[in-house]
Amino acid sequence: MREIIKAVAIRADIEASVYPHRLRHSYATHLLDNGAPMEAIQQLMGHAKQETTQVYAQLSGERRKELYKRYF
């Protein structure tokens, strides 16, 4: 799978290092940034514990700033 993803990234002229774990992290982060509840992300990722999901689903810088402005 890793080699397939790398080949697709090369064909798409993506210069960043692309690998399965990065795609998984990006998926969780985009879900969270777009308002998906942590419980839903946890189920989609197949995690038994929410703490595991939080490792993948870090808030992006922009989303963190937006939430800070809204609530503080």
The yes-or-no verdict on residue 58 having pLDDT over 90 is no
Rounded to an integer, the average pLDDT of 13-22 is 90
Q: Does the global pTM surpass 0.85?
A: no
pLDDT digits (tens, 9 = 90+) for 19-57: 998 888 888 888 887 888 889 999 999 999 988 888 766
> What's the farthest any 2 CA atoms get from each other in the chain?
45
How far apart CA 72 and CA 38 sit, in angstroms, is 21
**What is the H or E stretch that residue 10 is in?**
helix 2-11
The yes-or-no verdict on residue 66 having pLDDT over 80 is no
Tokens representing residue 45 in the block: 């990722």
